[in-house]
Structure 1
Amino acid sequence: MYRFLLSRQWVILTLLALALIPTMIELGFWQFHRHENRIAHNQRIEAAITAAPVPVAELTSPGRTVSDDERYRRVTAEGTYDTEHQYVVRRRTNADDQIGVHVLTPLVLDDGTALLVNRGWIASNGPQTRLPRIPEPPSGEVTVTGRLMPDETTAKSGIKDLKGLPEGMVMLINGTALAEDIGRPVLGGFIELSAPEPSGGTPQLLSSPDHSGIGAHMAYAVQWWLFTAAVPVGWVILVRRELRDRAAARAQEQQAAEQPPATAGV
């Protein structure tokens, strides 16, 4: 009764079903792990931005790479802004997705090293082929608080480091690349300023990182596992349908064989 399963068509169909089951199980676990990683990522951000701020020198130094665990950590620093080596970072958006620039100003610390401070966003006021008017930072000794960030690279950010830009304009925030121009050792990474608030509201301080969403990875995982369960169920349904069709065909053949032949007219 089940010999049809040995036919070429049914062997191929069965092998395909057997191949799909582990593949879709693995895809489900892949999405599940992405869900777990997203939750861990959000928890890492929450812990970093809610922790008490520490002096920046405890987490970074010239030539040091800011790790993922240190990203978004709140830090404090005391020093004087170096407005002679101020930069704007091209093609950056604000919370309303308006295109402008970020204002990047070195803060010279007591030991002579510099910390790059992203003071926030300003409108570019036209094509970004010339420097916009940059609001002045506070003068004299200041204490700042901000979120520690790793140096930006093309590999990690996807932003091309264009050449031939106007003087004082950059594409990436990278202390190693700017150290020679600044003329002093620059701490690894930079900070996104969170305090004090700028006078007049400009530059606009950057928003805290959004860490509320977890995406649809868990829903995708469940979806793949439901597909996995549907494969053997579908295979059984097809087998039963084939059995039913074959039984109906045999009954029809038997009925035709038992029916007496029609009598020819005289």
Structure 2
Amino acid sequence: MRILALAAAVGVALSVGVAQAEQWNDPNGRVTFDKPSGWQAEAAGPQTAQTAVLLFNASNDCYVFGVANPNTASSSADAARNTTTPLSPDAWATAANAVRDFFPAGSSPQVVTQTVDTSGFWPVQRAQLQAPSRTVFGAVQVRPGVEMRAFCSSTSGSESAAFAQIFNSLGHPNDATWQSQASQQMSERDARAAAAAAQAAAQPEPSTTQAQPTDPDGVNDGVERSSRDPRARRRRGD
């Protein structure tokens, strides 16, 4: 049975449980993920502005979102791959508040712990959040102009292995192209850095030798002209 009720669009089945985990592909082209074996998937509200999917089984509920982000639309794939700075608590709260079943209106999601998993090609932002009546586990991945988000909760309050499966499988239909671009951009960036280092190494080092002061007679020997002139020595009785 389900532990949560949908606010809207309940009953629109997108796929059914199968013997093996299967990749779920968004008809609107915003997100992909692996649906755990035995779980159901339903549309969670209108799909015009964003993709929202509810995954569930007898003891777990997960919401997956594909959301446009105009602020990163002009970013490169390499920049998305190197987005490893942890999200701020405010950013987590903004993303999590979209899940009204977990975070009712007026509640403020609290970040308990967070990490950034960089073991895969694309970084995965992870967090444990505290809702008024439950513990929620979340993940966010970024690509140029889009974010993939997932928020999961269980009846026991503990994290299920299926959550990690969903989080790590978050992706986008354009990932193959972006991954190729990111790899090429990284190679070009490394080549520029190597060329700059080689150019710097080839530059002559500035001289550290200081010019000796010139005596009034124009000779840097520390001897005054009068001491060098024989006539001056005769006048002194030398």
Give the TM interval when normalised to the shorter protein. Answer: 0.3 to 0.5
Higher strand share: 2
Ranked by relative contact order (alpha carbons within 8 Å, sequence separation 6 or more), the top structure is 1
Higher helix share: 1
TM-score by structure 2 length? 0.33
